[in-house]
Each structure stands twice: as C-alpha cells, then as structure tokens.
Structure 1
C-alpha cells in the first residue's frame, strides 16, 4: 500500500469529523453506531428491545423494556457514546490482521440486524444507504480499495467517537440536554452527570490513542 493510500483515509476521516458543515451529515453514521450500542447491550442484558429511531437532526432513540434501575440499564445507557470508538478499536485490530473483507461483511450483517428494529423512515434510509455502501465496497472493490476504505471507516469511528462527547457536555452546560445519557445515568446511580461525561471521554480518547498506535505502524 502506498503512502498516499495509508494516509488519505485518515485525512478524509479527520475532514469529515472536524469540518462543521460536513459533520452535520457524516455524524449520522456515528448516531447509527451509538444507537446500535444501546440496542446490543439491551439485548445482551436481557431487556426487551422495542425499536430504534434515527432522526434527521442526528439524534436517535432506542426504546427497551425492563427494570428502570440496575446494572443492565446502566450498561445500556453507558454503551451509546462509547460504542463508535470501541467499534473503531475492533476495526483497527481486524485491519492490521488483514481481515478487511470479514470486517466489511460483519458490518453489513450488523446493519441488517439493526434494520429490523428501525421504526422511522429516515432511520431506514440511513441504515440502508450505509449498508449499501459497505456491501458495494466488499463485493465489487479491489482488495486495495477495500483496504483503503476499511482504514477510512476505522479512523472515522475512532475520531468521530470523540467529538459527540464534547458536544454533549456543551449542550449540558447550556441546559439543552436534560435527558441525555449522562443525566439518565446520574438519575439512576446518583453519580453526577459530569462524571459520566468524563468517563465517556476517557473511553473514547483512550480508544483513539490505542487505535492510532495500532494503525500508525501500517
């Protein structure tokens, strides 16, 4: 892989995350991963998943039924903001192990499973388009283009997982996110919402650092 092919995906991912105009659109992919994290943990902890909505303003809602308190619901609320970064870290491991096609197919499979639980038209459109791009690349692209695309997706998840945490605290500071995941966790546990935001930041930044250390030797 050429030097350009190694660094272009990272630069493109940074532009999509750092650019205020383009982030408005690229953030939808992070929202998909965020809500997928809520949904997956809800299912794994025995809660009943009822549906997922992805909204055009980049917000999302995952509805599940179960006990309103306890470890399961804490894990479910915590999962959202850290899932994109953890997925990026896992993707970094697969890319460095040269398991690009399995990574792309696993992503398509996860999006297909998520699609079953989407409950609004915009959400269906977002998931279908994202899955279609993954499928086309995994099926038709050359191995070199697949590797470059996988690097882009990995860097985008790692970088894109950090920015929403800062945005969350900015909204909280202005009183515009009273029902955020951090505030829901504060209500359930009694631990201040700021502490949960700092934990989100620690996980997402930590994943970026670790993922970067895995990818940069490439």
Structure 2
C-alpha cells in the first residue's frame, strides 16, 4: 500500500485490487518488427532443441487438455477431471454421450487449442494489451488447476502459473510485451510441432487411442485425415498471427 493510500485509510485489499486492475488494463506499445523476429527466432530454437522442447511440451499439453475441457463444458458434457503425465501426455475425462457432435467437438478441440490461444495472445500483443494477455493465461491455468486430479499435473500447472504470474506482476511494460510475444510464439510453434509429431507418436503407440484415432472412430474418416486437419489448422493460426503482428504482409 502506498503512503498516500495508507494515510487516506484505504483498505489494503482495495488498493491491491486497484493495482491488479490497473496492471490488467495497462496499454503497452506493440513490439517492433526486429523484436518480434528476435523473440520468434529464440522460440524456434527452443522448440527445435529436443531436451528444451520436452520441457516446453508440458505447457502445450496443459493448453491441449484445457481445450478438451472447454469443449466438453460448452457442449453440455460434465467435466470429470484432467490428468497430466511426466511423459508430456495428458487425459481429460468427461461424462456424456459416447457419440454425437458433443463428443466429436470435445476430442477435436485438443490439438487446435494451443494455436487458438496463440492467435488470441498475438492479437492482444499487437493491440498493446500484453498484460491482459498474460493475465488471461494465468486465469486459464487457474481454471485448469481446479480440474487437475493427479500430483504431477498439479505441480506442472502450479509451476506454469507461477512463471506466467511472475512475468505479469514483476516485469515492466516493455518486458511484459516480450514475455507475451514469446508465449504466443511458443503456443503457435509448439502447437504446430505437437500436431506434426502425431504420426510418429501413433506409430510408436499401437493402442490407437490418439485424438486422431478417436475422431476416426467417431466420424469414419481416416485418422491421417484428422492429422492433416490438425496440421493445417496450426499452419493457418501461425499465418494469422503473423498477419496480426505485421510479420506477414497483406496481399
């Protein structure tokens, strides 16, 4: 609490709330082209390094499972919980009809979720609302945390939440913009890599329980068609984010 607020008798919680709101609605200048390219280049390198990617992949899995959970809730299914595993896999359990559009939408939503989140974050950064984008990421992590049903998942979401929350609260406007840009790039590039890796993971896992295989069973379209859909959606999101940030010139 500031000295002026204390002197005026303003309660601590009210002053803190005002500071949080001010931080959320703070407007910062969008990053210039050079900073965007440097940040994106750093994320490309991080995603390309296997050991680093394995660590970052946990964050992509969190958003992936959040996509399943959001779709289940929006289509009237009952969300029963989310589990995250040390091998970067995850499971979202929902209760409802085993077939139909609700189930299809729930299964379909996982792989595109990081790309959609990345586009939204890129839009916010380009509009000068990097702080709001980071706060939105924290809010998403809190909602996921409420649905976690295992210890590793709890630990993963808490670490991610602390990291994004620290960037939101401790960094100045310029560095918040860099952090939000990096997170948007990670979601977009990580979402693309996760989708592109699906054929290899299907080849290793003969149980045929991937999202693409479940969609094949639900729709009678081949699993490889759904893999292609996931990759195309990720590429479209990457191109859209580039347009929003001015990296891709308009035709």
Which TM-score bucket, shorter chain as reference? over 0.9
Aligned CA distance change for structure 1 residues 174 and 127 (closer, same or farther; 3 Å): closer
Q: Which residue is 1:106 aligned to?
A: 136
1:51 aligns with 2:81: yes
Shift of 1:177: 5.3
Output aligned runs, 1:1-218, within 5 Å.
Answer: 5-174=35-204, 176=206, 178-217=208-247
CA distance in 2, matches of 1:38, 1:153: 20
Q: Report the secondary structure of 1:162's partner residue.
A: helix
TM-score, normalised by the number of residues in structure 2: 0.83
Single out whichever of 155-164 and 169-178 deviates more from structure 2.
Answer: 169-178
CA RMSD across the alignment:
1.6
- Listed one character per residue, the Cα deviations across residues 144-180 of structure 1 (whole Å, up to 9, x for unaligned) are 1000001100111111111111211122245545100
- Listed one character per residue, the Cα deviations across residues 82-133 of structure 1 (whole Å, up to 9, x for unaligned) are 1001111111111100111111111111111110110111111111111111
CA distance in 2, matches of 1:217, 1:167: 26
CA distance in 2, matches of 1:189, 1:204: 21
CA distance in 1, matches of 2:66, 2:32: 34
Greater C-alpha radius of gyration: 2
State whether residues 86 and 207 of structure 1, in contact with CA within 8 Å, keep that contact through their aligned partners in structure 2: yes
TM-score, normalised by the number of residues in structure 1: 0.95
Shift of 1:56: 0.5
Q: Report the secondary structure of 1:203's partner residue.
A: helix
Q: Report the secondary structure of 1:128's partner residue.
A: helix
State whether residues 51 and 117 of structure 1, in contact with CA within 8 Å, keep that contact through their aligned partners in structure 2: yes
Aligned CA distance change for structure 1 residues 162 and 131 (closer, same or farther; 3 Å): same
CA distance in 1, matches of 2:181, 2:141: 19
Aligned CA distance change for structure 1 residues 87 and 133 (closer, same or farther; 3 Å): same
State whether residues 182 and 193 of structure 1, in contact with CA within 8 Å, keep that contact through their aligned partners in structure 2: yes
Q: Which runs of 5+ in 2 are unaligned?
A: 1-30
CA distance in 2, matches of 1:184, 1:108: 30
